[in-house]
Amino acid sequence: MANKIIDLVVTSISLIILLPLISVLFILILWLHGRPVIFRQLRVGLNGKPFIMYKFRTMTNQLDYNGKLLGDSQRITAFGKFLRRTSLDELPELWNVIKGDMSLVGPRPLLVEYIPYYSKKQFRRHEVLPGLTGWAQINGRNKISWDERFELDVWYVKNKSILLDLKIIVITVFKVIGRVDVEHQNNITMPKFSKIKKQNDMRERQ
């Protein structure tokens, strides 16, 4: 209950303070990327229940000759890279916190398609609300492997407390300002967990 009150109070104040910035970003994205300005995607929330997560759009919808979407590195724009480096693309997730889909702190919400690939232990990350930031985000974020990330998420679930959440929020602020651990090696985003899982399973069978 205390966490919900903190989430609502902090998020409401943040939205009021950040409204001018959010408005400017909305206009710039509309001008540079066109519609839609907001990227919507189904993610997994508390107890494995799906919800729609909102982010600022950072990529175009450019297709190849076969009508398929080009890779992330080909579709992301210069302004989109800036939004990701500064984490400004995640500002619309404040609305998810207001709605109760997310919390300020918790494991990051991931794609629904990952559900069949979790181990029983890894699925424990869904025992709490997903967050804007989390223990894994301040301990490597996109620079660590999926297994390491899930270990950190489960550790957070087991050790969750208001003091830990405050620590994570403070460290996150410094990480965002320093633009630390945003990109995963040579990729714009983390490789999909399902692909990594399949590759590891195939190696184990060989």
Residue 203: exposure state from Cβ atoms within 10 A (0-12, 13-18, ≥19)? exposed
pLDDT digits (tens, 9 = 90+) for 41-87: 999 999 999 999 999 999 887 777 776 877 777 788 899 999 988 88
Let me know: does 96 contact 53? Beta carbons within 8 Å: yes
The Cα 74–Cα 95 span in angstroms is: 29
**Where are the chain's structural domains?**
2-199
**Chain mean position to CA 38:** 14
Which spans in 33-101 are helix H?
Answer: 72-75, 78-85, 93-99
Instruction: Looking at mean pLDDT, say which of 59-63, 118-122, 138-142 comes out highest.
Output: 118-122
pTM of the predicted protein model: 0.84
